[in-house]
Homo-oligomer: A and B are copies of this chain.
Amino acid sequence: MIGPLPVHLSGALVECGCCIMYDVDLTNAIAEIKRLKARIIALQVPEGMKKRAYQIAEDIENNAGAEVMLVAEPCFGACDVPSSLFEMVEAIVHVGHSPIPAIRYSKPVIFVPARSRVSVSEQLKKAVGLLKEPVGVIATSQHLEELDDAIEGLESMGMKVKIGEGDTRISHVGEILGCNYTTATSIMDDVNSYLLIGSGTFHGLGVHLATGKKVVVLDPNLEEPREIEQAKDKILRQRHAAIEKAERARSFGIIIGEKVGQRRLRRARELRKLLRWKRKDASLILMDKFDPEKLKSLGFDAYVSTACPRIAIDDVAMYDRPLLTPHELEIVLGVRKWDDYSFDQMTDDEF
């Protein structure tokens, strides 16, 4: 079933669902599969590339001689490599996210970047007026290519630029994750603002709350850079409402994410101890994909999530029971002040 093996495979341009072209170069992955002599692998691609996943699979089957199974489940990051599949496959090829060095997998995971190729130079010119030197430059995983362009661009315009190193969850300088802003916080005393290459509000607001500094978001798929502080009030009001509602709760479910990079068991146990000390009922819950129906079925008055920090913030409108982050629970229980509010981040010692 596997065709002849050509000498060299060039990078493939894969069209994403939202019509951005991503550059997916399989050369290293194919070499690695051959080196491992893996005969059966799982292939995980981001949601927007799903329709072309069979093409990537075919490339791998034809050129690496391994049988490929496409992973249908949506994938939200390197924390979300489906480790249970290692009972069936010899390796997983994961497209679209950088590795998280702190996560240990039981079998090889081969990370393939999916880098977009959008020019940021026009937006950069508009962003300069909003930024205050020195500028910390940061980017989400999908935009590491443009991170380099942005640094070069700012420097060529004479701006002082800083790049931070991350902790053990970060594999690339300047990269931030929804659960980790250490490349930003490590330079917070040396910068007066941040330029974030990314999309949405979550990451930028997270960095702003963690550092107290101005954050400008440059989304390569939009026309104008945005100052993140505009979104702050609405989100903080939502969080305040959730905290107030949870103050009346008697029973709490403490959710531990099942995904391989989200299993913060130690943090969950700490929170359970804290809740019991405050005379609240507290149970530990394992959850894979979050879903309001699952919380409703379990019937607790309020929930705390130690899994992906984005869920409580981004999906707030979906949940009728309060779904808090660990910091927010600490505010509910009176051991943290609202003035110390920041988004949840994951550190090694919580797992």
Contacts and interface: CB of A to CB of B under 8 A. Distances in A.
A280 to B, nearest CB: 13
A297 B46 CA distance: 11
Given A69-B284, A72-B287, A298 B258 contact: no
A329 to B, nearest CB: 18
Interface string A9-47: 000000000000000000000000000000000100001
Contacts of A284: 67-70
A1 B281 CA distance: 12
Interface string A246-257: 000001010110
B265 A73 contact: no
Interface residues of A, number: 48
Number of copies: 2
Contacts of A70: 253, 283-286, 298
Contacts of A69: 256, 284-286
The DSSP consensus for interface residues of chain A is: mixed
Contact of A57 (B251, B258, B283): B283
Interface of A: 1, 42, 47, 50-51, 53-54, 57, 67-74, 82-85, 87-88, 106, 251, 253, 255-256, 258, 260, 263, 265, 272-273, 276, 281, 283-289, 294-295, 297-300
A324 B253 CA distance: 39
